[in-house]
Structure 1
Amino acid sequence: MWKEIGGREAGQIRPNSFANRVKSHRLSTLQLSNYKEIVSPHKGSINSLQVDLTEERYLLSGASDSSVAVYDVQRATDYEGGGHIAKHRSVFVVDKQHEHGHKYAISSAIWYPVDTGLFVTGSYDHYVKVWDTNCTRVVMNFKMPGKVYRTAMSPLAASHMLIAAGTEDVQVRLCDIASGAISQTLSGHRDGIMTVEWSTSSEWILVTGGCDGAIRFWDIRRAGCFRVLDQSQSQLGRRPPLLKRKVSISKSLSAGQNSSVKPRAPQKRSANGNGVRQSSVGRIPAKGSVRQRLHPGMLSSQDRATAHYGAVTGLKVTEDGMYLLSAGSDSRIRLWDVESGRNTLVNFETVRLQTSKPIQLATTQDPAVVFVPCMTAVKAFDIWSGKTCLTFRGHYEYVNCCCFSSQDQ
């Protein structure tokens, strides 16, 4: 890195290029820390992890022993090994002994996006609960019709306070914190919903993945889903950046303006041979022959499309909102272009994924790397080539979730 620092000081490397090189160097040197340890109070498998979005300081974890814990990952509680090993113990723990605690496994634990004063948990006991962090009390309860697999809140939301809940029921439920009631249900899946994810480019767009193998896009302001991803619809690689596309469009427009001859529409002779009639292209058809345009989510062929040969177990939208990563029980990882809704055919190297429960994916901010729990390890893949960059080992049992924080490496 000293060579890059010297080049930046001499003005030979641009600021953006230097920042990208530093980020890639830090990613390539990621490894199990020998100087930092998070002491877990959980006695079961950890199903959910999230660092708060405001300070990137507090880590929230939910486990299968019905407990949820919060850690301060920047300030250690004590030190060992002559002050070289920092121990981070939980700030507080809420378990099943708590008067308002969950009775069964916690499958999802997320922070309220605006601040750390609230957090949300979903459990197999059919409840979604909103907690006050300061007094560890439940301020809101939502009863679900089945086991809760995943909950999510939009990081961009300024007009609503909705919690999207995916359960073993076929409907996605939107729980409104402002009113304390379930404000909306989204119907379309034919089996339970294992994962839900809000778009990072619009507060109104929700993405869901079900046990029926379908990935559906919803605009919560309208009825029905507006897109169902089909693994047979594909494009080769990612689309060109927006700047390049604008340049190519402007070139084509200038070329069209320079040309003086305008192409004429094709003409055909009439039956009597005396006149000419225009082709049917662009002609307005008769009223009776107008075919009604159905909503894409309502077309039978598209409605039954599948994104995976099995349940969709994980979803992650990239930070720029342009691509979607999905994982399935068929042990496949797919990269989708959100604008076109097509599979980009990135061939991720062979992995083994869990099939019985949801997994939590993580990406870098670039986005350049995706972190995927693969049985007892976590693998880092290059998003655009699908090649394995790093493999993190150290767990003795299956890994269910992972999260990435660029603030505290």
Structure 2
Amino acid sequence: MLGFLTARQAGLDDPLRLRRAESTRRVLSLTLNPDRDVDRIHGNGINTIDIEVIEGRYMLSGGADGVIVIYDLENYSGNLQYTCKAVCTVGRSNRHVHKFSVETVQWYPYDTGMFVSSSFDKTMKVWDTETLKPAEVFEFEGNIYSHHLSPIARKHSLIAGHRAEVLSVRWSPRYEHILATASADSKVKVWDVRRASGCLFTLDQHNGDKSKAASEAVNTAHNGRVNGLCFTADGLYLLTTGTDDRMRLWNSATGENTLLNYGKVSNDSRKKLQFTVSRGCSPEFVFVPCESSVAVYAIHTGELVTTLRGHYNNVDCCEFHPDYQELYSGGKDCNILAWIPVLRASDVEEESRSANQAAGDQSSVNPAFQDAWSSDED
């Protein structure tokens, strides 16, 4: 790390290279933090979490009990050990609470004064954060498995459909008019909401080679329910997960299956699976709930980098905090766990040796930089 700092100070390296290197190191050192707890509020499993991007301070969670909680992630106590407190809760006693399981919660991308929730009670609610009352309620004919607000668009509309339940929807972080949807009918569709026809293409795991697919499997992304979607941070690729225990990486512009093999990614969830990707790292990583753990893969090689274990039951959601390279995960054990970067012993020793050499070993210093000053008046 000192090498990166020295090169940056001397103008030999782009500052972005140092940032990427440190972000990558932090992700690779993620571990369950014994000094940080998150208030346990939910009485049933946690289906969804979201961290706002304005301050990176507040986190939403929604549970199978219909409860919504807002947490403050900042530590103002000055102590190493602290608990992320629930600052407000839409609990069972609130007359506006969802009647059934909350499947998705999301902050409004431009203002923490508003967030949106959707539920199996067939409603989607737009909430005023200050009053904890819904400013708008939309009612639907069926269960709402997922919703998503575009992180970049300010105005858009959407009309899309599938023959079966739409389990996950995601807007592109690159183009405000591009939307991807995943369905229980094994299909993933990419839509341009500006077009009358809407659908640009349907992802095909066989890339159009019908000789490799049974007639009923043509234009399917997975051999089972597709319950997870996530764009890479740059929007160039799309990751999907399905109940066939596979994760696939697609070119988001062409719909081509990259055929990258991640191995078996256990997934038996009949609902949406919320997974996430890192930001600012090189290489980039994807964090995927896998039974009672979170599997971390290198996105573009398929390598299983590590497995984060700490939950006592299945993990249903995880969210990456890009400001601090932290990860939060929620599951059926009613817990939200914080995975925090730590310095490994080898890193500490290396930095200590580098510091000692720089400060104490004068014989190794270039003579041009040695101190030639003397107090001898002669």
Instruction: Compute the TM-score of the two structures, normalised by the length of structure 1.
Output: 0.74
Identify the residue that residue 147 of structure 1 maps to in structure 2.
143
Offset from partner CA, 1:325-346 (integer Å, 9 cap, x none): 0000111000000122111011
Give the structure 1 partner of residue 32 of structure 2: 32
- In the other structure, the counterpart of 2:98 is 102
Question: How many angstroms does 1:10 deviate by?
Answer: 4.2
1:113-192 mapped onto 2 (5 Å cutoff):
113-160=109-156, 174=158, 185-187=159-161, 189-192=162-165
Distance 2:196 2:219 in 1: 19
Q: Which residue of 2 aligns with 1:23?
A: 23
Partner of 1:207: 180
The reply to whether residue 405 of structure 1 matches residue 321 of structure 2 is yes
- Spell out structure 1 runs of 4+ moving beyond 6 A: none
| Correspondence 1:314 to 2:228 | yes
Alpha-carbon deviation of 1:65?
0.8
Which residue in 2 is equivalent to 1:376? 292
Distance in 2 (alpha carbons) for counterparts of 1:69 and 1:28: 29
Contact 2:73 2:85 in 1 (8 A): no
Do the aligned residues in 1 keep the contact of 2:185 with 2:225 (CA within 8 Å)? yes
Measured after TM superposition, the shift of residue 196 of structure 1 is 0.4
CA shift at 1:14, angstroms? Answer: 3.3
The higher-RCO structure (CA 8 Å, 6+ apart) is 2
Q: Tell me the amino acid that sits aligned with residue 226 of structure 1.
A: L
Q: Which runs of 5+ in 1 are unaligned?
A: 163-173, 175-184, 236-300
- Is contact 1:112-1:153 (8 Å) kept? yes
Structure 1 residues 234 and 2: CA distance shift in structure 2, 3 A: farther
In structure 2, C-alpha distance between the alignment counterparts of 1:11 and 1:221, rounded to whole Å: 46
Aligned equivalent of 1:230: 204
- Give TM-score scaled by structure 2 length: 0.80
User: 5 Å matches for 1:185-334?
Assistant: 185-187=159-161, 189-224=162-197, 225-233=199-207, 305-334=219-248
Deviations 1:319-368 (A, max 9, x none): 21100000001110000001221110111132212332211111112461
Counterpart residue type for residue 30 of structure 1: L
* CA distance 1:84–1:329, shift in 2 (3 Å): same
1:303 is displaced (CA, Å) by: 11
CA shift digits 1:151-188 (9 cap, x unpaired): 1111111234x5xxxxxxxxxxx4xxxxxxxxxx323x
1:121 CA displacement: 0.6
Distance 2:14 2:312 in 1: 44
Instruction: Tell me, in whole angstroms, the C-alpha distance in 1 between the residues paired with 2:204 and 2:71.
Output: 40
SS in 1 for 2:319: coil
What is the Cα-based RMSD across aligned positions, in Å?
A: 2.0
Identity within the alignment, % = 35
Which residue does 1:357 correspond to in 2? 271
Q: Secondary structure at the match of 2:87?
A: strand
Q: Which residue of 2 aligns with 1:394?
A: 310
Q: Secondary structure at the match of 2:148?
A: strand
User: Aligned letter for 2:308?
Assistant: F
Distance 1:91 1:334 in 2: 38
**Whole-Å separation in 2 of the counterparts to 1:338 and 1:234:** 16
Distance, in Å, in 2 between the alignment partners of 1:101 and 1:398 is: 25
> Any conservation in 1 of the 2:23–2:280 contact (CA below 8 Å)?
no
Q: Is the CA contact (8 Å cut-off) linking 2:66 and 2:92 kept in structure 1?
A: yes
Encode CA deviations 1:200-229: one digit per residue, 9 max, x unaligned: 111111110000010001111223311101
Q: 2-side partners of 1:45 and 1:147: how far apart?
A: 18
Distance 1:234 1:391, change over 3 A: farther
Distance 1:30 1:234 in 2: 40
Question: 1:69: which partner in 2?
Answer: 69
Aligned to 1:346: 260
The question of whether the paired residues in 1 share the 8 Å contact of 2:248 and 2:259 is answered with yes
Between the aligned partners of 2:237 and 2:321, the Cα distance in structure 1 is: 20
CA shift for structure 1 position 89:
1.2
Q: Over alpha carbons, which structure has the higher Rg?
A: 1
